[in-house]
Amino acid sequence: MAMDVVLSAQGLTKTYGAGKDALQVLGGISFAVNRGEFVSVVGPSGCGKTTLLFAIAGLQGVTSGTVTFNGRPVTAPPKGVAVVFQDYSRSLFPWKNNRDNVAFGMARIQGLSAAQKRDKAQEMLDAVGLAGFADKYPWQLSGGMQQRVAIARGLASQSELLLLDEPLAAVDAQTRADMQDLLLDLAIRFKQTCVLVTHDVEEAVYMADRVVVLTRRPTVVDHEIVIELGKKRDQITTREDPRFLAARHDVMTSIRGQRAHAPASAA
Amino acid sequence: MSLSRRQESLRGLILPVAILLAWQVLAWRASTPLFPGPWQVTLSIWKFYPQIVGQIGYTLMRAASGFLVAAALMIPLGILLGRLKTVGAIVEPIMDMLATLPPPAVIPVVMLFAGTGDAAKISIIAYAAAVPLLMNTYEASKTLHPMANLVARSLRFSRLETMLRIDLPASLPMIATGLRLAVASALLVSVTAEMLLATNGIGVFIQRQQENFQIANGLAAIAFISIVGLIINNLVFQLEKRWLFWHYRSSDTHGNG
């Protein structure tokens, strides 16, 4: 199978501050994402997952190392990359209704008329199951529904790569399971390449074709594990599958071990 | 609902009516033209209202001009300063200093440079309206949540686009507060400026009447100004409710200030 690399990170380091107060968060992270792949990035708490995601999104600079998207170095948010943030209530704009919030994702897309953007926004709201809520405002929706609007905005921007920063961390458990399946369905339907950053091991394994496991600070890639469960997942049967349990065991062991260790020296 | 609202507005009338009655009683007892009662004031309004309306026209034109100049300059400046943190921090002490300076105090200084014509008056009014507008816009823009900026950048908005499409609407609730203060300030200072250096306007009318001991006529003009002020305030509030409904969504207790 010919691998078409969409995103590649090489030796990313990030140090906050300088001198005595310097805090090295990223210790040299390298990994790649192929077109059509769903990659989960999971690591112990405080290992700089959001820093890493912001770096590959072009939202934050790194101290050293390079990010390339479609072969081009990333220095600012590139065209074709969309981000879904954890804080959905602040990432949507309260003065715009849901349709206009989704259409905002297409603000910089040329060659679409305002009417076409509206139609596309409606289509994306339909896709996330919010067909009847286009004229409502984000603050009239529950948290899970707001995050679905944010996902619709990400999808609407015709992104080649959708970056998800703990998108389900703030929703209740039942909504979270529903949204995991929704995200998987959308990823298949739109052949969307996704990178999901999460601290939830089960979620990381359940969602991904491949899991990138991080160490504690200064963070490097501990190992990667391919999840051989096919694209179609199911909340009950997938989670009982021996391959799921084995992968979960592997990742969990790595992360718990990281927690128990004394601070490792930077790679 | 409509009954309780009517009861509420009736209750709101108790105090003003009581004050008017007490005033009238005191005026009867004093029985001098230097202490006219509400009845004499009403007669004065009846007699002078064409003149008062005409003079208020001048006053409002100048107040509106000064206000518009201030809004057009200070809202963009406030947004910009809120974004440019370093520049904002340098300018902030000056803003705080100007905020405590009563606008009428600058009238003589402005006279030195701009004379006593409309340009001078409009400059003073603009200055008075500028202070609350700049302070509120700057504060709103400065305290915007960084998330809005992250979203803007991930949507690949330019700086200008971010300011226009995100910072401005997000700052509107606080800008509205600044606008209300600016309207009040513009009216206040336009009347004050007229009393000091105008040839027309309601301020001049009031001064002339009072200099001639026509107290009732002066009070008639004052009553007119308060009514106009009330109408303008109500108008601003209605616009706010219409444009900022998304901001007031969680509190329906927001009263008409």
Per-residue pLDDT band for B2 (boundaries 50, 70, 90) equals: low
Given a contact cutoff of 8 angstroms between Cβ atoms, the answer to whether A59 and A83 are in contact is: yes
Structure tokens at A99: 């349709």
Q: Which residues of B touch A105 (CB under 8 A)?
A: 155
Q: Which residues contact B226 (CB under 8 A, 6 or more apart)?
A: none
In A, minimum Cα distance to B244 occurs at A95
Reply yes or no on whether the pLDDT at B252 is more than 50. Answer: no
Contact A127, A148 (CB under 8 A): no
Query: Tokens 């003079």 — which residue?
Result: B55
Q: Which of B155, B165, B247 sits opposite A105 (nearest CB)?
A: B155
The partner residue sitting opposite B246, judged by closest CB among A59, A87, A139, is A139
Place of tokens 């071990």: A257
User: For chain B, what are the domain ranges?
Assistant: 40-243
Residue A244 Cα, gap to closest chain B Cα (Å): 34
**Ranges of H-type helices in B84-145:** 85-99, 107-114, 118-142
pLDDT averaged over 10-residue windows placed end to end, chain A, 267 residues: 82 89 91 94 88 94 93 92 91 93 88 89 92 92 92 89 91 89 92 93 93 91 88 87 90 79 46
Structure confidence at residue B253 (pLDDT):
35
Residues of B in contact with A101 (CB under 8 A): none
Q: Are A202 and A187 in contact (CB under 8 A)?
A: no
CB spacing of B154 vs A81 below 8 angstroms: yes
Tell me the percentage of chain B whose pLDDT exceeds 90: 34
> Is B147 touching A (CB cutoff 8 A)?
yes
Given this model, what pLDDT does residue B77 score? Answer: 95
For domain B40-243, give the fold: MetI-like fold (1.10.3720)
**Six-digit token pair at B54?**
């005409």
The answer to the question of residue A140 being in a domain is no
What pLDDT, on a 0 to 100 scale, did the predictor assign at position A78?
92
In this complex, the residue of A83, A93, A95 whose CB is nearest that of residue B154 is A83
C-alpha B76 chain-centroid distance: 19
Cα–Cα distance, A61 to A21 (Å, whole number) = 19
Question: A139 and B249 in contact by Cβ < 8 A?
Answer: yes
**Which region, left, alpha or beta, applies to residue A230 given φ > 0 means left and ψ of -120 to 50 means alpha?**
left
pLDDT digits (tens, 9 = 90+) for B158-203: 989 999 999 999 999 999 999 999 999 999 898 888 888 767 888 8
Q: Is residue A134 part of a domain?
A: no
Residues 150-209 of B with CB under 8 A from A: 150-151, 153-157, 161, 165-166, 169-170, 172
Flag whether A210 is in a domain: yes
Q: Enumerate the residues of chain A whose CB falls inside 8 A of the CB of residue B246.
A: 94-95, 137, 139
Work out the percent of chain A whose per-residue pLDDT is above 70: 95
Does the pLDDT of residue B6 top 80, yes or no? no
Asked, for residue A97, whether it belongs to a domain, the answer is no
- For residue A174, the enclosing domain spans 5-80+160-260
Region B206-210: what's the mean pLDDT? 87
A137, part of any domain: no
In angstroms, what CA-CA distances link B230 with B10, B223, B244?
Answer: 18, 11, 20
CB half-sphere exposure, B67, CA atoms < 13 A: 20
- Chain A: give the shortest CA distance to residue B148, in Å: 6
Total domains in chain A come to 1
Task: Report d(CA B162, CA B168) in Å as an integer.
Answer: 8
Q: What is the pLDDT of residues A143-176, one digit of tens each?
A: 889 999 999 999 998 789 999 999 998 888 888 9
Question: What tens digit of pLDDT does each residue of B72-106 get?
Answer: 999 999 999 998 888 988 999 988 888 888 888 88
Instruction: Report H helices in chain B.
Output: 2-30, 38-83, 85-99, 107-114, 118-142, 146-154, 159-162, 168-197, 202-211, 215-243
For residue B108, whether the previous peptide bond is cis, meaning omega lies within 30 degrees of 0, is no
Amino acid occupying residue A150? A
Q: Are B41 and B223 within 8 A, CB to CB? A: yes
The residues pairing with A84 across neighbouring beta strands, listed in sequence order, are A164
B114-143 pLDDT, tens digit per residue, is 777 888 889 999 999 999 999 999 999 998
How many residue pairs bridge chain A and chain B with CB atoms within 8 Å of each other?
54
Is residue A5 a contact partner of residue A193, using CB atoms and an 8 Å limit?
no
Going by C-beta distance under 8 Å and a sequence separation of 6 or more, which residues neighbour residue B74? B129, B130, B133, B134, B137
Q: How far is B231 from chain A (nearest CA, A)?
A: 27
In CATH, what number is assigned to the domain containing residue A253?
Answer: 3.40.50.300
Answer for the pair A108, B157: CB distance below 8 angstroms, yes or no.
yes
Residue A1's pLDDT is 45
pLDDT at A259: 58
Return the DSSP state at A14: E
For chain A, the residues whose C-beta falls within 8 A of a C-beta of chain B are 54, 57, 59, 76-77, 79, 81-83, 85, 87, 90-91, 93-95, 104-105, 107-108, 137, 139-140, 157
Residue B246 touches chain A, beta carbons under 8 Å:
yes
